[in-house]
Amino acid sequence: MNLSMKYVRLSVTVVLLFVVLIFSEVRSSLDAAAGALTDLRTEEGSVLTPGEILARKRTLLIERERLLAVRKQRFPEKDQNEGSLFGYLASSASDRKIILAAFSPTGVLRKEGMTQLSFDLSFTAGFHRAAAYLNTIETCSFPIKITGLSIVSDPPGNPALKVSLSGIARLLPARFTPDRK
């Protein structure tokens, strides 16, 4: 074998190794791209159409209207006052099987027909009941701002939580409350 033939074979071997190396790299990239395309097509099937989005929003709206109707039956149209706030918080706690340990007003400010009531509230409940009750406070018809919140497990590891909160409720006369038909 002469020298030129050795160089030709060496060159062909190097080119073949280069092609195999490039093909293996390109193939892994192509596999990754094919996988991404499959994922995209899967997600594309789960994307909601505008009609489906509208249907979901209608369902949520109907549920919210149902909840507001229940709330309207519990609290008919009248001025918001300390008694109606206390009644709402107490009945909501009772609905969630929570016994209020303490509920006391800490200050009242009346100005131009609006009453601002500061209060402290404490109760003991499991995690889910406490969370549901706090959600009820957050979404009620009284504008309430929570100014302080303490959640303690006593003793540590006990599933019952001692919850203490401070808040400010703004009580409005009937002319300012949302229209209830």
pLDDT (tens digit per residue) in 34-93: 888 888 887 776 777 888 888 888 999 998 888 877 766 765 555 577 777 888 888 889
pLDDT at 181: 41
pLDDT at 34: 87
For the cut 70, the answer to whether the pLDDT of residue 1 exceeds it is no
The stretch 131-148 carries a mean pLDDT of 87
Contact between residue 120 and residue 106 where contact means Cβ atoms under 8 Å apart: yes
For the cut 90, the answer to whether the pLDDT of residue 150 exceeds it is yes
Mean pLDDT of the chain: 83
Report residue 140 CA to chain centroid gap.
16
For the cut 70, the answer to whether the pLDDT of residue 180 exceeds it is no
Say whether 141 sits in a helix, a strand or coil: coil
Please give the C-alpha separations between residue 80 and each of 110, 125, 148, 176, in angstroms, as whole numbers: 13, 28, 23, 10
Contact between residue 165 and residue 93 where contact means Cβ atoms under 8 Å apart: no
The stretch 130-152 carries a mean pLDDT of 88
Q: Is the pTM of this model over 0.85?
A: no
Residue 178's pLDDT band, with cuts at 50, 70 and 90, is low
For residue 135, give the amino acid letter.
Answer: N
List all residues 6 or more positions away from 168 whose beta carbon is below 8 Å from its beta carbon: 116, 117, 118, 119, 144, 145, 147
The stretch 15-42 carries a mean pLDDT of 84
